[in-house]
Structure 1
Amino acid sequence: MADENVKKAQRYLNSMYGHRSEWVKLEEDGITGTGTCQGIIRAFQIENGVTPVTGNVGDVTLDKMRSLPKISKMNANDKSNANVCILQCALFAKGFNAGGITGIYYTTGVNAVTQFQAYANLEQTGIIDWKVWMGLVSLNWFTMSSGGDTNIRTIQRQLNADWSDIIGVGPCDGVVSRFTAYALIAALQAAEGIYTDFIGSLDGTNFGNQTTDKFPDVLKENQNGDFIKFNKLVQYGLYTNGYNPRRFDGIFDSTTKERVSEFQEFYALTGIGLVTQGEVNCATMKSLLTSKGDTSRKAKACDCSTVLNKQQALDLKAAGYQVVGRYLTGTVGSSTRKFITFEEIENIKNAGLRVFPIYQDGGYRLEYFQDLRQGTVDAHTAIASAKRIGIPSGTTIYFAVDFDCYSYQMSSFIVPYFRKLNLVFNSSTNSKKYKVGIYGPRYVCSYISDLGLAKYSFVADMSSGFSCNLGYPIPKNWAFDQFFELNDNNGGKFQSSPSFDLDKDGYSGRDTGISTFDDVPYLTPDQLAEKNSNIMLDAQRDQYVYNVFEPLGYLDVVNNGSLTYNEEFLLNTILLNGLTIKITAEVSDTLTTDFDSTPITIDLNNEGELSTSCEAEIEGMIAGIEIGDFENIDIINSTINDLKDVAVSVTSGQIGVKVNLNGTYPKLTFVITSDDIFPDSVSVDQEITVEISFEIIPTPTPDVDYELVLETLAISALSVAAVIGLIALLSNPGTASLAPEYLIALGVFA
């Protein structure tokens, strides 16, 4: 809802700083959002000579805030202060009544600052100091956000009260932000005495060697007193990880002990000689405050891109590993193969290891998921590759989201990708009943799993600075937890013959991996590489076909085993009064030129939409054909829209239509064809043609002379329109029959 005071602030800022090249004009809509908050920060930076002007608060801006003189209540006739004007704008933006934008810090403004200090749990002085600047001239919020948590807000307010001198002023909105997640580590460092003065920006704060060395030996029940400041952070960490200690006062009681024990058990910190259950040592604290936890801890699982020889597999087993994640396809770089081989399977089995399969031929950047065909391609490729090497029925295959993404990217691209995976995995294509798993940061794994799109999670916890890891608990369905990589830059590779890079993975036991493989024909590594390449080509070709059928509503039919090449197959049969409508399709891997008129070349613009000219051509393909009135059904537009959606879905090729008599009966066929389904590849040219036909077969009744109907359809210029009209009716669930009077409405009968 628009706020007039916020609108005044936006107008003021635009008028005061709009002439500056660094300024980004604000929408004067009265709505406080990120743009308005960044505008206030820019105004502060411009007014106070902070460069560069970024609209974000970093160390230079914080230093400037700390250097400014404090501002107490002014007199009504004092000279206007530009910084006070900016602060008044900030108060309005954050929901506090500043009174006006006058530059005079007077009674109303003092009351507003005092109210802000109360919300932030700071000393209520009414004086503008660096803490007031840091809180208000920021992206932080101090009232409960929609969906916020009252206990998180309590934690945030206590952090401000206890540690703001050192860590600064954080939000109090009930949401675990990046600041709040880092503030927990920074507060621990302050409690340990590592920092005794203001730290500055917390971004990138880490639980390093010094923090480890200065941590108390152990925190446990009834050990309070001087340890309360540490116990509070234990309780904060428990809550943010989903374990409510029911108090945040630093008293380590039996409930806190119980929650610690539950946390350790769920995070698989027990049983590896790492912790005493219910007591918080440094390793437990690391797991409470960072996603990767204690990276020196033992691990029962691991994953690697190395094709394991006999000795490497034996050395993994000797080092205590029980299960190893291995890839189904792909290479490291352009040539080094990373996919599991038959020889490697024997090495793994003989060493007494188990395997969990991973599919990743991309997924490192958002662009991979922006191709909406990718999920179907990957599903078919992974299933075929798993079958080829004998992965047994019911095994979970982990698909990778190997980057930090934002919420809108999740809903727009990651969710559709996993929906496509599941569509294929739930079809007859997946005769082995493999399950979809996910590899990714915590929030991504939880989000996808909560939608029912992944059975288990393989968590990318090494990247503890990912926003999708910061402040999020490990997913409830976690099976493997990747927390450290052994490599030359990280203390050395895993020692074997030869040594190799290895990721250490926590192991929950939810997915035990596989130790037996189906008996399948042996293939050499070269043959596997060729088969993997071919299946990707086949999957891409099939995907083009699926992109035709999906907008027409037949994707489920095709995915359930109906798709065959170079022979006609049935999509649907619809029985109406006196008519049978038989809907068939035929797919071939050749290009066709069989059209009744010039086909239309599909052309998309940079936004992935039909170009204006292409859209006009599709509309013109059957324009001008009068089919008579049919009440409440826009037959022509319905059909054209389907053709448009198909064109956008396939992205390249040609689209056209033809009408003929199949023996006796009229038949309308949509034709979609392409001479290259890989337009971005210079090395692969793959042709394809998809024909979807609608055949009208009458069942004679005494009321209708169907020979006359067929003769009319065969010779009349209205035949295409009539058939199109019938087809359009088929997609209308409300059409239960097609009586002779409907045929008249379509123009079949005069």
Structure 2
Amino acid sequence: MADEMVRRAQAFINGAYEGKLGIDRIPETGVTGWPTMFGLTRALQYELGITSLSDTFGPTTLSTLASKYPSLNSATVPSANFARIIQSGLYCKGYDGGDIDGLYSSRVQASMAKLKQDMGVDFTYPGGDLVPKVFKGLLNMDAYVTVNGGSESIRAVQRWLNGTYVSRRDFTIIPADGHHSRDVAKSVLFAVQYEIGMADGTANGVFGPGTQSGLKSHTVTTGDSGPWVQLFSGAMILNQRPVTFTSSFTSALSSAVSSFQSFAALPATGKGDFSTWASLLVSYGDQSRKGEACDGVTRVTPARAAALKADGIKYLGRYLTNPTGGKPYEKA
């Protein structure tokens, strides 16, 4: 549905920055979309003095904003158009941005406080000031309220991740919309790496050898408590397991873990061991676990069959066509 204030925000971009942003005019439809957010991002870069404008609110935009305006409010916002970018972004996100009049008013401050509360970062960034990472979250299409039938349990995990780790250098505010996504999964890996003790610049959100080694030292089980249990119960929730987001490893959580382990063909111990962590965090799980099945593109000779069986393989899937004209690889 069209929103008059979003239309006014689009008209502001077109009027104030015509011929300056390197993009076509924004359609003044009153409907928020990426073209509008890209326009606001480029407008912000223009106001910051960045000469190479981009649709992306990347490291250069974030670092320039942090160095020039680490905290924006009625006393520090540098110009009316700078304030209008903020006001327009609020309307595009569904918050009250005032009259798009170039003022960082009490209405803007109240909306900024509400936005941060919805994100889950209000304890880290209290009040109505706008800080760079929140600005980055303002100028994208992420939602910070539950949308499209999203899960309140997933949203609780998302808000906790934001609030707990937003002060780390490479952690970006993620959606708080109640839906799991690639960005949310990566944020959990960042959180695991931070809890392991990885420094900023080392933590990268990748399930690599260092992360795997650290997880092997952090099995969680009944009676445990703290952030490791919160991460584990959160990962269970993101994998659609019916558990409570908690910092205490209860018998109920252990029972749910056993059920998940059975589903994933893991030993049903009820403990959050490495293989279970891996199955929750990445699609391929623990790649060192022994399997009973394999597939292949080469012919299974008696000797190969004997070797596979000796290695514990019970099931074999194999391509049967040979389009390569007699070569050993048989895959259509």
**When the two structures are superposed, what TM-score results if normalisation uses the length of structure 2?**
0.89
Question: Which position in structure 2 is the counterpart of 1:551?
Answer: none
Cα distance 1:183–1:48, how it changes in 2: closer, same or farther (>3 A)? same
Identify which of 228, 248, 253 aligns with 2:250: 253
Supply the distance in 2 between the matched residues of 1:153 and 1:330 (Cα, whole angstroms). Answer: 50
Question: Which position in structure 1 is the counterpart of 2:315?
Answer: 323
Secondary structure of the residue aligned to 2:100 is coil
Cα distance 1:318–1:244, how it changes in 2: closer, same or farther (>3 A)? same
Supply the distance in 2 between the matched residues of 1:296 and 1:51 (Cα, whole angstroms). Answer: 49
Cα distance 1:238–1:64, how it changes in 2: closer, same or farther (>3 A)? same
- 1:113 is aligned with what amino acid? M
Question: Which position in structure 2 is the counterpart of 1:221?
Answer: 222
Deviation digits for residues 318-359 of structure 1 (CA, Å, limit 9, x no counterpart): 111111111132547x974544xxxxxxxxxxxxxxxxxxxx
Supply the distance in 1 between the matched residues of 2:322 and 2:9 (Cα, whole angstroms). Answer: 55
Report how far residue 6 of structure 1 moved.
0.6
Question: Which position in structure 2 is the counterpart of 1:264?
Answer: 261
- 2:261 is aligned with what amino acid? Q
Cα distance 1:336–1:23, how it changes in 2: closer, same or farther (>3 A)? farther
Identify which of 282, 304, 307 aligns with 1:312: 304
**When the two structures are superposed, what TM-score results if normalisation uses the length of structure 1?**
0.41
5+ residue gaps, structure 2, are none
Aligned length: 326
Cα distance 1:197–1:111, how it changes in 2: closer, same or farther (>3 A)? farther
Contact 1:41 1:56 in 2 (8 A): yes
Question: Which position in structure 2 is the counterpart of 1:28?
Answer: 28
Cα distance 1:329–1:14, how it changes in 2: closer, same or farther (>3 A)? farther
Identify which of 124, 141, 144 aligns with 2:143: 141
Larger displacement relative to structure 2 (298-307 or 40-49): 40-49
Supply the distance in 2 between the matched residues of 1:23 and 1:194 (Cα, whole angstroms). Answer: 40
Deviation digits for residues 694-746 of structure 1 (CA, Å, limit 9, x no counterpart): xxxxxxxxxxxxxxxxxxxxxxxxxxxxxxxxxxxxxxxxxxxxxxxxxxxxx
Deviation digits for residues 117-136 of structure 1 (CA, Å, limit 9, x no counterpart): 11112223111112321220
Question: Which position in structure 1 is the counterpart of 2:95?
Answer: 96
Question: Which position in structure 2 is the counterpart of 1:125?
Answer: 127
Supply the distance in 2 between the matched residues of 1:256 and 1:318 (Cα, whole angstroms). Answer: 37
Question: Which position in structure 2 is the counterpart of 1:116?
Answer: 115
Contact 2:21 2:46 in 1 (8 A): no
Supply the distance in 2 between the matched residues of 1:6 and 1:63 (Cα, whole angstroms). Answer: 28
Contact 2:21 2:39 in 1 (8 A): no
Q: State whether structure 2 residue 186 is matched by structure 1 residue 185.
A: no
Contact 2:236 2:280 in 1 (8 A): yes
Contact 2:21 2:53 in 1 (8 A): no
Question: Which position in structure 2 is the counterpart of 1:562?
Answer: none
Higher-Rg structure is 1
Q: Percent identity between the aligned chains?
A: 30
Secondary structure of the residue aligned to 2:89 is helix
Cα distance 1:21–1:248, how it changes in 2: closer, same or farther (>3 A)? closer
Contact 1:68 1:130 in 2 (8 A): no
- 1:186 is aligned with what amino acid? F
Report how far residue 308 of structure 1 moved.
2.3
After superposition, where does 1:406-417 map in structure 2 within 5 Å? none
Contact 2:2 2:29 in 1 (8 A): yes
Supply the distance in 1 between the matched residues of 2:316 and 2:50 (Cα, whole angstroms). Answer: 52
Report how far residue 221 of structure 1 moved.
0.4
Report how far residue 287 of structure 1 moved.
1.0
Structure number with the higher helix fraction is 2
Q: State whether structure 2 residue 168 is matched by structure 1 residue 176.
A: no
Cα distance 1:208–1:222, how it changes in 2: closer, same or farther (>3 A)? same
Report how far residue 197 of structure 1 moved.
7.8
Secondary structure of the residue aligned to 1:303 is strand
Cα distance 1:118–1:198, how it changes in 2: closer, same or farther (>3 A)? farther
Report how far residue 198 of structure 1 moved.
10
Supply the distance in 2 between the matched residues of 1:60 and 1:303 (Cα, whole angstroms). Answer: 46
After superposition, where does 1:363-382 map in structure 2 within 5 Å? none
Greater RCO, CA 8 A, separation 6+:
2
Question: Which position in structure 2 is the counterpart of 1:243?
Answer: 241
Secondary structure of the residue aligned to 1:70 is coil
Cα distance 1:62–1:282, how it changes in 2: closer, same or farther (>3 A)? farther
Cα distance 1:188–1:117, how it changes in 2: closer, same or farther (>3 A)? same
Deviation digits for residues 625-645 of structure 1 (CA, Å, limit 9, x no counterpart): xxxxxxxxxxxxxxxxxxxxx
Report how far residue 188 of structure 1 moved.
0.8
Contact 2:48 2:65 in 1 (8 A): no
Report how far residue 88 of structure 1 moved.
1.4
Cα RMSD (Å): 2.5
Question: Which position in structure 1 is the counterpart of 2:62?
Answer: 62
After superposition, where does 1:469-548 map in structure 2 within 5 Å? none
Supply the distance in 2 between the matched residues of 1:295 and 1:75 (Cα, whole angstroms). Answer: 55
Question: Which position in structure 2 is the counterpart of 1:165?
Answer: 167
Report how far residue 235 of structure 1 moved.
0.7
Contact 1:71 1:127 in 2 (8 A): yes
Contact 1:165 1:198 in 2 (8 A): no
Report how far residue 46 of structure 1 moved.
3.5
